[in-house]
Structure 1
Amino acid sequence: MSQRPLNVGMIGGGGGAFIVQPHQRSIHFDGTRRVTCAALHPDPKVAKQEAEAWEYPLVGYESYDQMIEEESKKPVGERIDYALIVTPNHVHFDPAIKCVKAGIPVFCEKPLTLNLDEAKQLVAAVEEHKVPFCVSHTYLGHWTSRFARFIVTSGLIGDVRFVDSRYLQGWLAERTEDTGSVQAEWRVDPKKSGASLCGGDIGTHALMQLRYVTGLDVTRVQANLETFVQGRVLDDHFTTYCELSNGGKALVRATQIAIGHKNDLGIEVNGSKGTLSWRQEFPEELTICLPGQPDRTYFRASVTANDGFLGDLPEDLMAEPNIPAGHPEAFHDAFARLHRCFEQDVRAYNDGKPFDCDGSKYANVYDGLIGMQFIDAAVRSNKENGAWVDM
């Protein structure tokens, strides 16, 4: 017997916000989740108007406070099963902690909060109320990210010696914030974006990709935050040299002034037995380089076990639903995989059963906290002329 679709409430997403589109499409991806209500805008009148004009029927609330209050009164099955927060950074903490305290699971855009203090408070609330919590690090949802994690953490390329994890963009190479771009305007404002523009916006993705693929943590940071576009307060170029928990080293770097680059997240892991390379703009493939052998390129949906490099492969990895090789998965599929995995934990939570939320399928609230600790350490290192700062 099929289960009822989960009800999702959106917080933010009005005014043409980019990120809401891939989220809502991926929520409806499997037919097991649906967006039923939303608080789309901080102006109550605009929020109602946008809800009435939305592309499919949903209940429009004047504010997220009203949504949380009204939905939390309803019984399970009628209320929202989780909230999706797609607001600018400075409006992550308040709705997230209110949802958690109301017993509503949260799927929140990254970075977790505006600052480290908020992140610590949110973690404490999640621990107290024990609700599922996901931080939306999209690129963990690519099947090849999970395959990369298996390869590295299984020791197939040996001990991790050095990692280069980077996210390169070029959309802020000029004063895009002066062109009427809402997406640029709030990102360059420290009151809305936080202490770092480039690091918080996309450097946290590079950090998360490193931590997820290698299973290692960053223990200390040496950082250089630079601003190339005149008149901009926050960094648009972010470079950190890091020490890893196994004694290895890493570059975690990001830029938004590299003309020609779009959303070029990539990672290279140099191990004692070989190297793994992956780029999210080519998410179907992953390359392994071994000494004295031709490079191996693996493609999603055409990976086979025991091929001379790979041994047995985990059943849960190979059982993940995907379309045949040559029909590319992409950005929306990655989002859908995260929502699909989160759905499993939300259903367990609704049924009063244990749930994992352990970071193996999606980034959790602790991953979000580590992201904020990383930004805090990088900003402090930069102020101290690149001194080493412990995480």
Structure 2
Amino acid sequence: MAINEPLNRKLRMGLVGGGQGSFIGRVHSIAACLDNRAVVTAGALSSNPERSKASAPDYDIHESRAYGSYEAMFDAESKLPDGERIDFVSVTTPNHTHYEIARAAVEAGFNVICDKPMTFDLAQAEALLETVSNSDVVFAVSHNYTGYPLVRQAREMILNGELGEINAIRTQYIQGWLRTQLEAEDQKQAAWRTDPSKSGAAGAFGDIATHAYNLGRYMTGLLPETVSCHLKTFVEGRRLDDYGTAVVRYENGGLGTVTASQISHGRENDLEIEIDGTKGSLRWRQENPNELIFRQNGKAHQIYTRDPNASYMSGSGAAACRLPSGHPEAFFEAFANVYASAFDAMALRGDGQTVERRDTVYPNIYDGVEGMYFIQQCVASSEQDAAWLPLKHDAARR
């Protein structure tokens, strides 16, 4: 099969962010290029023009395509012939910059893959949705945990009714790296994540609880109704929450919990989800991503392992695998699966075909809006002593 049929060529990536000292920008570039379907062609790698251009060799970006700003990149790339200009933009900068960059990219006609949370606040998310709706671009949000093969396996099992009616969703994302006030030591990743002018109204809940909440939505398709939330800042002097728990009521009568911590000693990236249905239950843990546990009363517990050739694997689960069973696949591969699904749509758009932008395998603009609404309502609920507030947004679709 040719690369990116029907285009039969690699897609050209324009990277915004990812300069020296960045974590997530490098992850995006590796994920995009993992399947040989894309190449990093241009970049505006830092808000500092000199650092931006100095970082270009790290990505093998030619100096002529190393730009001092995203505005300069979009302007120059738009003027290049179709066979040379970038096809898509990856936005890998701090939260407060996402909206302006993504909007400018869409208005310039470039497809976009934006890091989460999608924007600084809900108003920006809704404005960006309007901009995307008035274009034909492909817009993806990097909720990368949706790309794990066994997450997609679980999603198909649930939507096919194997768990019956869903009663409960328990999700947690537990870290410990912010147990001390790293931001006071000018640690780059901590500094912007704990700064409300850059991160937004939430700390841990904006950074990692959004992943946990999105995972439950993605796997079950349940529509949320209301939320009650407690947020807490335990580290003295910190300006945003570093711990919190939310309870979600779903339209079908089910209940969900979302717990996020960045101050739990010894915890790394422990994202876990348990789903209870009337016929069975599932458990998946990101730190052991190649196993999915299925339980039914009175029967032996079943452990699904990631195996693309196994008869029990669903179509989307098997399609998300790259290696034979026993060879672990994890973070980069899951991230790459989000890119791969978006690439499929980009290739069709590039061929002049109409693409589905609402009901997609990859997280899209609507998921991004839902995530921002979740953050807004959790913060508001916590400020009102865990009052129950509405959670269903017009963007909800599954």
* TM-score, shorter chain, exceeding 0.5: yes
- 1:56 corresponds to which of 43, 46, 60: 60
CA positional deviation for 1:23? 1.4
- 2:169 corresponds to which of 133, 149, 163: 163
- 2:133 corresponds to which of 124, 127, 136: 127
Cα distance between partner residues in 2 of 1:255 and 1:136: 21
Aligned residues: 384
| Equivalent residues of 2:17, 2:46 under 8 A apart | yes
Unaligned runs of 5+ in 2: 392-398
**2:246 counterpart of 1:236:** no
CA positional deviation for 1:180? 2.6
CA positional deviation for 1:217? 2.4
Unaligned runs of 5+ in 1: none
Range moving further from structure 2, 244-253 or 60-69: 244-253
| Equivalent residues of 1:108, 1:134 under 8 A apart | yes
Q: How does 1:18-97 map to 2 (within 5 A)?
A: 18-51=23-56, 53-58=57-62, 59-97=65-103
**TM (normalized to structure 1)?**
0.95
Partner of 1:342: 342
Q: How does 1:243-282 map to 2 (within 5 A)?
A: 243-282=249-288
Cα distance between partner residues in 1 of 2:179 and 2:131: 39
Pair 390,285 (structure 1): closer, same or farther in 2 beyond 3 Å: same
| Equivalent residues of 1:6, 1:34 under 8 A apart | yes
**2:349 counterpart of 1:326:** no
CA positional deviation for 1:131? 1.0
CA positional deviation for 1:238? 1.6
CA positional deviation for 1:137? 0.5
CA positional deviation for 1:151? 1.1
Partner of 2:230: 224
Cα distance between partner residues in 1 of 2:102 and 2:320: 29
SS in 2 for 1:45: helix
Once the two structures are superposed, residues 225-255 of structure 1 have per-residue CA deviations (whole angstroms, 9 ceiling, x without a partner) of 1000001111000210010121100001211
Pair 75,321 (structure 1): closer, same or farther in 2 beyond 3 Å: farther
Q: How does 1:173-192 map to 2 (within 5 A)?
A: 173-192=179-198
SS in 2 for 1:92: helix
CA RMSD of aligned residues (A): 1.4
CA positional deviation for 1:171? 0.5
Partner of 1:14: 19
CA positional deviation for 1:355? 1.4
Cα distance between partner residues in 2 of 1:303 and 1:31: 23
Cα distance between partner residues in 2 of 1:302 and 1:291: 28
Q: How does 1:90-105 map to 2 (within 5 A)?
A: 90-105=96-111
Pair 287,303 (structure 1): closer, same or farther in 2 beyond 3 Å: farther
| Equivalent residues of 1:76, 1:350 under 8 A apart | no
Runs of 4+ in structure 1 deviating by more than 4 angstroms, as ranges, are: none
Cα distance between partner residues in 1 of 2:355 and 2:67: 30
Cα distance between partner residues in 1 of 2:325 and 2:173: 26
SS in 1 for 2:354: coil
Partner of 1:289: 295
| Equivalent residues of 2:271, 2:287 under 8 A apart | yes
CA positional deviation for 1:7? 0.2
CA positional deviation for 1:73? 1.9
